[in-house]
């Protein structure tokens, strides 16, 4: 760390001569079970966007919107989204995390699937201490190193945190003005479009080509309209025809479908999970429409893959293709792309969501004939 510009004084203050590495730390166990990747969208959203949280979010918005109007006007991110992030991330500041960041990130820097990432975040925590003279007791957060009201990663803090209250230290832990201004600044720098919205839940026509679903495919709203895509209530898409958008299916063709605009993708830079982003924008919509009655998100029941089954599919894909993906049992963006490739070969709907049909085809795969079903043998005539 000294070679990267961290002073010996900060290193001594952070570690105090202790060795924070443990063989089986709790933080490493947490890293193996991230909820965004193991729950369906409806389950995840209904867990975070509860009736009680919607009511609290509306109260917080009404209470704070006038007070922080100048921050909203300066950065141009609608305040309902800021309240939504605040509610999803820390339940409005109640759950900012009690893990010691030096301890957590040092542990995650060793023998971890994302060791390089966590080493960089550890460096950034030390950089914060070096730059602001905050002591290590202040450095508390989540098991993964996220900090403060809005759960900034240390590198995000160093790039986007704002000192709004004028005390010369961007305090995202205990200063709500600093935290709100920092969240607004972050979203603005990511490219938030003030008057565009995020998207809408939709219904797809019976003949929709699922190969066109996914954030990597963008079309104009006019083009999606021509393909028969409508809102969930059966109305025309409520956006300008020239706006670019994507159709996403977080749980495949049997789950909820959404048309998403560029702001949705900005939310996903904050946290690279479709489920997380859907939860944030759903809560933001409830805040923006105080008369809308809360209802749980529902969809058709479907077969949900467990991590072992996803890993089996990942390993199968790696056996078949030169481009390798991580066989980590998580349904991330790279795995979804791989699933689409396998679905195309197996002549299944290409929605990027693995189901029991794909799993059965993989388990019965024959190298000689591929995914094709073997021809039935001719019935022998009785003599």
Q: Do 39 and 115 fall into the same domain? A: yes
Task: pLDDT band for 257, please (50, 70, 90 cuts).
Answer: very high
Q: Is residue 164's pLDDT more than 90?
A: yes
Mean pLDDT of 359-370: 87
**What is the rounded (10 degree) CA torsion for 307, 312, 314, 318?**
160
Q: Do 83 and 131 fall into the same domain? A: yes
Instruction: Kindly list the distances between the CA atom of residue 256 and the CA atoms of 203, 227, 354, in Å, as whole numbers in the listed order.
Output: 8, 18, 15
| Residue 347 domain flag | yes
| Residue 369 domain flag | no
Q: How far apart are the C-alpha atoms of 163 and 260, rounded to whole Å?
A: 32
| Residue 115 domain flag | yes
Q: Which two tokens stand for residue 257?
A: 């479908």
Q: How far apart are the C-alpha atoms of 164 and 162, rounded to whole Å?
A: 6
Q: Do 179 and 212 fall into the same domain? A: no
Q: Do 102 and 218 fall into the same domain? A: no
Domain boundary at 190, 213, 247, which?
A: 190
Per the model's pLDDT, the better-predicted residue between 362 and 305 turns out to be: 362
Say if strands 140-141 and 99-100 run parallel, antiparallel, or are unpaired. Answer: antiparallel
Q: Do 36 and 167 fall into the same domain? A: yes
Q: Is residue 136's pLDDT more than 90?
A: no
| Residue 294 domain flag | no
How many distinct structural domains can be found in the chain?
A: 3
CATH number at residue 212: 1.10.530.10
Q: Do 48 and 167 fall into the same domain? A: yes
| Residue 297 domain flag | no
| Residue 149 domain flag | yes
Q: Do 210 and 316 fall into the same domain? A: no
Domain boundary at 155, 190, 225, which?
A: 190
Which tens digit of pLDDT belongs to each residue from 284-336?
999 999 999 999 998 776 667 788 889 999 999 999 998 899 998 888 889 98
Q: Do 21 and 100 fall into the same domain? A: yes
Identify the domain containing residue 343 by its residue range: 307-363
What was the pLDDT predicted at 31?
60
Q: Do 316 and 269 fall into the same domain? A: no
| Residue 301 domain flag | no
Mean pLDDT lowest among 45-49, 52-56, 139-143, 227-231: 139-143
Q: Do 186 and 42 fall into the same domain? A: yes
Q: Do 158 and 214 fall into the same domain? A: no
Per the model's pLDDT, the better-predicted residue between 9 and 381 turns out to be: 9
| Residue 131 domain flag | yes
Q: Do 253 and 320 fall into the same domain? A: no
Which tens digit of pLDDT belongs to each residue from 78-132?
999 999 999 999 999 999 999 888 888 888 888 667 888 999 999 999 999 888 8
Task: pLDDT band for 139, please (50, 70, 90 cuts).
Answer: confident
**Average pLDDT across the chain, whole number:** 88
Instruction: Kindly list the distances between the CA atom of residue 330 and the CA atoms of 36, 209, 247, 250, in Å, as whole numbers in the listed order.
Output: 10, 25, 22, 13
What was the pLDDT predicted at 100?
87
Angle, helices 333-345/356-363, rounded to nearest 10 degrees: 70
């Amino acid at each position: 760390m000294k070679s990267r510009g961290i002073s010996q004084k900060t290193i001594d203050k952070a570690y105090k001569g202790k060795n924070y590495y443990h063989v089986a730390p709790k933080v490493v166990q947490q890293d193996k079970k991230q909820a965004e990747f193991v729950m369906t969208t409806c389950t995840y959203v209904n867990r975070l966007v509860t009736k009680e949280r919607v009511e609290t979010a509306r109260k917080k918005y009404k209470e704070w919107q006038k007070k922080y109007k100048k921050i909203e006007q300066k950065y141009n991110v609608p305040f309902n989204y800021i309240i939504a992030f605040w509610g999803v991330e820390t339940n409005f500041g109640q759950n900012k995390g009690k893990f010691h960041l030096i301890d957590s990130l040092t542990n995650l820097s060793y023998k971890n699937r994302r060791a390089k990432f966590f080493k960089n975040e550890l460096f950034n925590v030390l950089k914060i201490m070096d730059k602001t003279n905050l002591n290590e007791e202040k450095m508390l957060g989540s098991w993964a190193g996220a900090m403060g009201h809005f759960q900034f990663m240390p590198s995000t803090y160093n790039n986007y945190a704002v000192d709004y209250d004028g005390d010369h230290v961007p305090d995202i832990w205990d200063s709500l003005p600093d935290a709100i201004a920092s969240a607004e600044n972050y979203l603005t720098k990511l490219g938030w479009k003030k008057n565009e919205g995020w998207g809408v839940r939709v219904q797809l026509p019976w003949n929709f080509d699922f190969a066109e679903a996914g954030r990597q495919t963008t079309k104009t709203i006019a083009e999606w309209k021509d393909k028969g895509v409508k809102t969930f209530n059966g109305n025309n898409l409520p956006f300008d025809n020239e706006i670019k958008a994507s159709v996403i299916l977080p749980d495949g063709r049997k789950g909820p479908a959404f048309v998403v605009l560029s702001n949705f993708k900005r939310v996903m830079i904050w946290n690279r999970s479709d489920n997380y982003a859907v939860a944030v924008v759903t809560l933001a919509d409830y805040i923006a429409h105080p008369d809308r009655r809360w209802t749980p998100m529902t969809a058709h029941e479907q077969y949900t893959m467990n991590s072992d089954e996803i890993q089996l599919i990942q390993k199968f894909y790696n056996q078949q293709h030169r481009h390798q993906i991580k066989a980590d049992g998580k349904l991330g963006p790279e795995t979804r792309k791989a699933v689409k490739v396998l679905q195309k070969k197996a002549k299944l709907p290409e929605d990027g969501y693995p189901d029991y049909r794909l799993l059965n085809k993989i388990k019965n795969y024959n190298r000689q004939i591929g995914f094709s079903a073997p021809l039935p043998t001719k019935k022998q005539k009785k003599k």
